[in-house]
Structures are given as structure tokens and as C-alpha cells.
């Protein structure tokens, strides 16, 4: 009551509400306010709301009043074998895809660390996949793998005489998804590693050459220490992103054959928007969020370590 009286007095003494609001000491908060409001409405409020829903029995399909059930859905989610099966599938795809991205990205970075004709144009082309939309990449690879007229099948048929259905088996489908994801994101790993490679002082290599050290020794003692943290950063960043993989899988295989490529992201989508088990999907989404937060913390730790190294 007293503070509102003070504010009212200030407004009067400053000649009205608008001059009071636009006073220099309030301009900073005023400029930040729209962003904060949008952030609250678009991110924080839905997050809190869905977190609240995970403790209630509620389906968005029905108009029933939510019924408080405590931790029932969290318990149901962690004891559901289907959820663990989807986590397992996700782990297989994440580990294979990130490993492939690291290998391909690293090799590309080694290639582009050297100067050669048309390097800039080739670099631009290699970077193109990560700039494409995920949906476009999914459709592109679906056609690529299509067994009747797709390029992969046609190429295999040249040698075997028979069409090849890569997505027809669980292993083949996982390989198909991993290749599509790695194709898109290996350039990202390459960029990070390339940044590390170009930061290595040239005199170190010159000194190593005078000492006649082998290329492998040079890599071990000079190159690798400089790119180590960046590689870790790439691993963490790509792990977090691949863990949430949805678009490419949904378009390429829709989780099939059967459920062989159904990642946890696709399963949350099914729970939420096909089965309309709103509370259960919210509980599962928060468990995934917890996993991602743990990974993000590791990522931040790696970033800090890199900053310390640079300093």
C-alpha cells in the first residue's frame, strides 16, 4: 500500500505515467520486458503447465476435469518395458550416428585443413547438408533407399541382379537412419574440428619436422591436444541433438519395420498426439528432459574447460 503510494507520487512528480516509464533508469528493464514476456508465455508457462499435468490423470481429447494422481504416471513410465525398448533403440541410433559423424567429420576436417584447388567451393558443398531442413533430408533419403527405383537399390541390382530393400530389416533400417543423420551432421563436427586444427601454432609442426617425428606422433602430441576439447564438445552436442531425433526417423521409416527404429522422441509423439495420453506423455517428456539436462551439464563443463585452455 505504501509502495503504491510512493509510485503514484513518483508518477505525479515526473509529469505523468509515460515520462515516468521512459525514465533512463527504467529503459533497460523496459527493453528486455517483451523478450521476457514472450519467453514466459512460449517456454516457461507451457513447461510449468505440462509439468503440472504429469501429476494429474488428464487426456486432452476429453473435456474431463484433471484428477490428481501424484507420481503414478512417472511410475508407469519407468516400469513400462516399451519405454525401455525405445530408450535402447535410441541409444543404438545415437551411439552409431555420433560415432559415424565423428569419424567422417574428423576426416573431412583433416582434408579441409590443407590448401588445395577448389577448396572453398568444396567446403561450401560439404556444409550444405546441415543447412537443409530435416524433412527434406528425410524425404531425400526415403527416395534414395526406395527399393523399386531408388539409387541404392539400382546400384546393388547392378551387381546382384536383385533389388535391395535396405529398410526391409531392423538392422538395415537402423543403418539407413544413421547414414541419413550422419550425412546431415558430419559437417557440423567437421567445422568444430577444423576450428581446432587451424588454431594449432605452425611453429609446433615446424619444430616437430626438424625433430623428424612421425606423422602419427605429430598427431598424438600436437594436433590431438588442441582438438580434444572441441571433439568432446562435438560429441556432447551431437549426442543431445540425436537423442531428440524425430523428423528423419518419422519420415524415413515411421519407426519401422515394426518398431525397430522407433526412438523415444517418436514414442512421446505417439503417446501425446495419437493416443492422447497427455499426462503419461508429459511424465515421459520430463524424464527425457532430465536426461538431456544431465548431458547439457556435461556439455557446459566441456565448454568451460575449453575456455580455460584457451585462456
Partner 1 sequence: MKRSWEGWLHGVSLVALAAGSLMLAPGQANAADITITMAAPDWPPTRFMKEEFDRSFKSASGNNITLEMDYIPWPSFYERVAASLTSGEQKYQMIVTDSQWLGSFVDGGYYKDLTEEIKNDPELTAIMKDLHPALVSAYSTYPNKSPQFIKDNPFPAPDTHYYGFPQFPDTYVTFYRKDLFCNETEAKKFQESFNQKLPCTYEDWQDVDWTVYENIGKHFMRKKGDPLGDGVADDDFFGVSFQAGKSYDFSSMQVNAFIWQNGGEIWDETRQPEAQAEGVVNSDINVKAFEQYLNFIQYMPPVAKTGQADIFVIQDLYMQGKTATTIDWVGLGEPVLDPKTSRVHDKSAFGPAPGVRKEDGTIDRTGNIGGQPFVLTTWNSPEVDAAAIEVVKWWLKPETQKKFAANGGQSGLMSVMADPEYDSLRPWNRAHKEMLDWQRDVWHVPEFFELLTQQQEEFDKAITGQITAQEALDSIARFQQQTLEDAGRIE
What residues make contact with partner 1 under the rule CB under 8 A? Answer: 60-63, 146-149, 153, 157, 161, 163-170, 173, 253-260, 270, 273-276
Smallest gap from residue 170 Cβ to partner 1 (A): 7
Nearer to partner 1 by Cβ, of 96 and 153: the residue is: 153
Cβ atoms of residues 293 and 306 within 8 Å: no
Cβ closest to partner 1, residue 83 vs residue 167: 167
At which residue does the C-alpha cell 560439404 appear?
Answer: 126
Cα distances (Å, whole numbers) of residue 62 to 55, 68, 279: 17, 16, 12
DSSP assignment of 125-181: HHHGGGGS-HHHHHHHHHHHH-TTT-HHHHHHHHHHSS---GGGSHHHHHHHHHHHH
- Residue 20 beta carbon to partner 1: minimum distance, rounded to whole angstroms: 39
**CB 281 to partner 1: min, Å:** 13
Report how far residue 252's alpha carbon sits from residue 177's, in angstroms, rounded to the nearest whole number.
Answer: 7
What cell does 72 get?
503414478
What is the smallest separation between the CB atom of 15 and partner 1, expressed in angstroms?
Answer: 44
CB closer to partner 1 out of 101 and 278: 278
Q: Which residue has the cell 585452455?
A: 309
Question: By C-beta, is 66 or 256 nearer to partner 1?
Answer: 256
Q: How far is the CB of 236 from partner 1 (least distance, A)?
A: 32
- Alpha carbon separation from 15 to 5, 18, 22 (Å, rounded): 16, 8, 12
Of 213 and 259, which CB lies nearer to partner 1 in the complex structure?
259
Amino acid at each position: 500500500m505504501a509502495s503504491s503510494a510512493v509510485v503514484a507520487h513518483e508518477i505525479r512528480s515526473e509529469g505523468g505515467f509515460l515520462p515516468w516509464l521512459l525514465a533512463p533508469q527504467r529503459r533497460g528493464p523496459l527493453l528486455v520486458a517483451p523478450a521476457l514476456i514472450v519467453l514466459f508465455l512460449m517456454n516457461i508457462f507451457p513447461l510449468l503447465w505440462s509439468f503440472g499435468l504429469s501429476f494429474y490423470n488428464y487426456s486432452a481429447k476429453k473435456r474431463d476435469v484433471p484428477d490428481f494422481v501424484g507420481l503414478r504416471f512417472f511410475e508407469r513410465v519407468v516400469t513400462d518395458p516399451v519405454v525401455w525398448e525405445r530408450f535402447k533403440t535410441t541409444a543404438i541410433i545415437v551411439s552409431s550416428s555420433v560415432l559415424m559423424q565423428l569419424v567422417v567429420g574428423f576426416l573431412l576436417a583433416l582434408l579441409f585443413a590443407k590448401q588445395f584447388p577448389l577448396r572453398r567451393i568444396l567446403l561450401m558443398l560439404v556444409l550444405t547438408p546441415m543447412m537443409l531442413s530435416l524433412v527434406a533430408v528425410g524425404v531425400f533419403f526415403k527416395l534414395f533407399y526406395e527399393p523399386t527405383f531408388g539409387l541404392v537399390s539400382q546400384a546393388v541390382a547392378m551387381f546382384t541382379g536383385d533389388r535391395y530393400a535396405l529398410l526391409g530389416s531392423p538392422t538395415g533400417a537402423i543403418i539407413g537412419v544413421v547414414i541419413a543423420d550422419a550425412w546431415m551432421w558430419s559437417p557440423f563436427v567437421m567445422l568444430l574440428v577444423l576450428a581446432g586444427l587451424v588454431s594449432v601454432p605452425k611453429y609446433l609442426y615446424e619444430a616437430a619436422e626438424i625433430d623428424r617425428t612421425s606423422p602419427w606422433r605429430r598427431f598424438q602430441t600436437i594436433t590431438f591436444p588442441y582438438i580434444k576439447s572441441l571433439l568432446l564438445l562435438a560429441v556432447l552436442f551431437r549426442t543431445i541433438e540425436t537423442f531428440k531425433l524425430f523428423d528423419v526417423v518419422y519420415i524415413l521409416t515411421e519407426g519401422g519395420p515394426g518398431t525397430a527404429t522407433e526412438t523415444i522422441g517418436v514414442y512421446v509423439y505417439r503417446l501425446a498426439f495419437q493416443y492422447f495420453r497427455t499426462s503419461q506423455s508429459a511424465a515421459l517428456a520430463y524424464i527425457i528432459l532430465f536426461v538431456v539436462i544431465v548431458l547439457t551439464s556435461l556439455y557446459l563443463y566441456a565448454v568451460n574447460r575449453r575456455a580455460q585452455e584457451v585462456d
